[in-house]
Amino acid sequence: MSIRIPFAIALLACSAAAFASKPMQTDAPTPILGGSLDADLTCEPMPGEPAGHFICEDADRFKRCQEILEANGKVRLEGETKDTPVLMCLQGG
């Protein structure tokens, strides 16, 4: 019986560590990227670059884009039905 208790504690510790290492999934809606007042982020896709490359006009928008990028997140372009992964954010103007 004494062997089972340390094994159970070790198993619980491993389970807790594995759970803590996984990023939390949220049910938050995908942010909308576009130029309208209703958009969550008003950066623009970079002309001539692959999808997921965005340029933001000011520091606040750039910071929000970086937060999405670091979270390995996605945005939905206004008028689109599929999400676009954020791959690069640049601050312009």
| Bridge partner residues of 75 (DSSP) | 84
Find the angle CA(17)-CA(19)-CA(25) to the nearest 5 degrees: 150
Q: What is the pLDDT of residue 18?
A: 46
pTM, rounded to two decimals: 0.64
Between 5-9, 18-22, 31-35, 67-71, the lowest mean confidence (pLDDT) is in 18-22
Contact criterion met (CB below 8 Å) for 40 and 32: yes
Could you give the CA distance from residue 93 to residue 90 in angstroms, rounded to a whole number? 10
Tell me the torsion sign for CA atoms 40, 92, 80, 72. Answer: negative
Residue 55 confidence (pLDDT) above 80: yes
pLDDT at position 14: 46
Cα 6 to Cα 14, 15, 30, 56, 93: the distances in Å are 12, 14, 44, 54, 60
